[in-house]
Amino acid sequence: MDSPDPDRPATHDLGGNPRFRCTPVEPDDDAPPSDFDKRVDAVRSVLREKGLFTVDEMRFNIEALHETEYFGLTYYEKWLRSVTAVMVRKGVITWEDIK
Amino acid sequence: MAGTPLPESVELLDKLVAALKRRGVLVEEDIARCQTQAERAQPETGARMVARAWLDPEFRALMLRDGTAAAEAFGVAMAGAPPLGVLEDTDRLHHLVVCTLCSCYPRAVIGYPPHWYKSAAYRARAVREPRAVLAEFGTVLPAGVQVRVVDSTADYRWMVLPTRPAGTEGWSEEQLAAIVTRDCLVGVTLPVAENARIAA
């Protein structure tokens, strides 16, 4: 989430980040989303339709991930963690449900 | 990032869905319906919008003024999706779309974003050295063309209206749409007449 050092950008604020200056973009990194990916996306859409989840909540909870998870998890794994965190926080489900 | 989810993530998804079902929040059909709708969004829709804009000045004006309405005219359900903005390339100006903070992309119109669009390298470098990134896609802009990089946001999604390439005079809308790829709509490549998949 927020970086303790105001001069240092937050983890997700990647624009111009020198850490990736020498990392090539891989145009061939183009595999279609997996069944897992599509299902996470679809669950997210259902919850949005039902008024239980917004894009801002999605982003806030992805940006709150620790750097290790932010760069270590796949894209839709991060979405899943965000959706789950919001559902628990809102009391839609409980931690016991997903233990 | 591409890759296989961890076993614990697969398990978490199963548990989350089971809990949501048990608590009456959703049913399997809801998930299937949303997935079908997501899969229906394809780059071809954006390509057809571009081809129409090349041929029909009135549609072009609509698309630049109100991308959401232009997408709806092509049957895209935009309700609940962030608005679509369309960036018009000219002979002197090229647009490149990125999302530096996350991965915002006009999903509702052109489908799931490619992995590279979500990669740290693309997000970090597109705003710092766009021409180097373009070169990695094999795109070299003619001298004198300015690059404008546009950062998508959670609340507004961008798509590029490229310039119509030479050699496409007299082509039908279908022929024109066939040379507009997903990558053209993001601005990392340019449509070229030689790529025609339908004989002119």
Residue among A14, A41, A62 minimizing CB distance to B100: A14
ipTM score of complex? 0.87
The verdict on a CB contact (< 8 Å) between B115 and A31 is: yes
The answer to whether B27 faces chain A, any CB pair under 8 Å, is no
pLDDT of residue A26: 82
Catalytic-role residue among B34, B103, B119, B152: B103
Q: What angle do CA B109, B93, B70 make, to 5 degrees?
A: 25
Q: Is A16 left (phi over 0), alpha (psi -120 to 50) or beta?
A: left
Burial per residue of A9-20, b for 16 or more beta-carbon CB atoms within 10 angstroms, e otherwise: eebbbbbbbeeb
The answer to whether B151 faces chain A, any CB pair under 8 Å, is yes
**φ, ψ (nearest 5 deg) of residue B85:** -110, 145
3-state secondary structure of B171: coil
Give the pLDDT band (50/70/90) at residue B176.
very high
The answer to whether B192 faces chain A, any CB pair under 8 Å, is no
**φ, ψ (nearest 5 deg) of residue B135:** -60, -30
CA-to-CA distance for B166 and A17, rounded, in angstroms?
Answer: 37
Reported as half-sphere exposure (CB side, CA atoms, 13 A), residue B155 has a value of 1
Residue (of B62, B8, B135, B101) closest to A16 by Cα position: B101
Provide CATH code, domain B41-195. Answer: 3.90.330.10
Where in chain B are the domains? Answer: 8-38, 41-195
CA-to-CA distance for B30 and A42, rounded, in angstroms?
Answer: 8
Domains, chain A, ordered by start? 35-98 (1.10.472.20)
What residue type is B122 in one-letter code?
Y
**In the annotation, is B104 catalytic?**
yes
pLDDT of residue A1: 47
Residue B160 has pLDDT above 80, yes or no: yes
Q: Region B153-172: what's the mean pLDDT?
A: 94
Residue among B15, B34, B122 minimizing CB distance to A42: B34
Return the residue of A nearest to B35 by Cα.
A42
- Contact residues, chain A, for B103 at CB < 8 Å: 75
The verdict on a CB contact (< 8 Å) between A32 and B123 is: no
Contact between A29 and B119 (Cβ < 8 Å): yes
3-state secondary structure of A65: coil
Predicted confidence (pLDDT) per residue in A15-41, tens digit: 888 888 888 888 776 778 999 999 999
pLDDT of residue B64: 98
